[in-house]
Chains A and B, each alone.
Chain A
Amino acid sequence: MILLSSIAPIPVIPPVLPPDPAKDVPEPGSMVAIGLLGLAIGGSRLRR
């Protein structure tokens, strides 16, 4: 018996890199700083 078919390539999965601590440091003016500013403004309204 003869069978005709094909073998699909095995997918290449990109390696999972460890987190880079240097990239976790927020830049000045980043979203973290903006969020703190918003929290301060909101707290002020609640006291009124």
Chain B
Amino acid sequence: MRRWQPIAITIKPLTVAGMLLLAAPTQAGTLSNDWTYAIDSFTDGTEGSIVGETSAFEFYALAFKQTSDRLFFAISSNLPLDGYPNPSARNGAVNYSDLFLNFTTPEFASANGNLVGIRFDSKNDTTLGLGVYNNVTAISLSSENTGYSSLADYNTQVALSGGTVGYADGTAAYFDSTQPAYTTIATGNFIGEVTPEFNLAELGLDFGAVGAVGSQIFGFSVAKNIFPSGGFIANVLLNAATMA
């Protein structure tokens, strides 16, 4: 089984006092009712030879909203939070990766060690507990979860299956396409809790408004005051993003 559904978005770097920071981002996502939606290709989730919306691994969109004191994230996909049972995967299932937020550099690899990571999936393979972590170093557990050997390998398989890899407003350059994708918080400092959210529609969440409705929609929130302010790049994958 091979699967990966990235969207990449370009950013403008800004150097301040010798530190590379992300500038306030250009408007890359789709705004609707105070939510920002990053909409993925609907034909780049692969499940064996199946690709697209009939795949259990199709991701549709990642949404974000902030209030004065909370940050909300929501996912629309075909993968339940319980994961996809597979005896070849670590812990018997393919699950979500952790959610990573990069406030510092335009590439994931160069920010590794200085990421904010959110473990929201209680059944993935991360050994740290649910929560928000800073100074995160991420690793790849793709090979333990039947994933692709590299983004390049994934791109090839999607094309062979008749799909189209989506990168939204950017490119795949955010990741190193020759390497397995980072999926998992390995180390970091706990800084806050993750709260599951079950009534996000009351806060205006509507994946239907942007035409990105998967079979599974869920979300969570975190405290805002534990995050730096400014532009960030967030990404979430499967923990089977690559396979060695």
Chain A residues engaging chain B, CB cutoff 8 angstroms: 1-11
Chain B residues engaging chain A, CB cutoff 8 angstroms: 5-9, 11, 24-26, 28-29, 36, 38, 40, 59, 61-64, 66, 68-69, 71, 75, 167-170, 174, 224-225, 227-237
Main secondary structure of the interface of B (DSSP, over half): loop
B69 with A10: CB separation less than 8 A: yes
Ranked nearest first, the 6 interchain pairs of A and B with the lowest CB-CB distance are A3-B38, A4-B9, A9-B229, A6-B231, A2-B235, A1-B62
Q: Which residue of B lies closest to A1 (CB)?
A: B62
23 interchain pairs, CB-CB under 8 A: A1-B5, A1-B7, A1-B62, A1-B235, A2-B168, A2-B174, A3-B9, A3-B63, A3-B64, A3-B235, A4-B11, A4-B25, A4-B26, A4-B28, A4-B231, A5-B29, A5-B36, A5-B232, A6-B24, A6-B229, A7-B227, A7-B229, A10-B68
Which residues of B sit under 8 angstroms from A4, Cβ to Cβ?
9, 11, 25-26, 28-29, 38, 169-170, 231-234
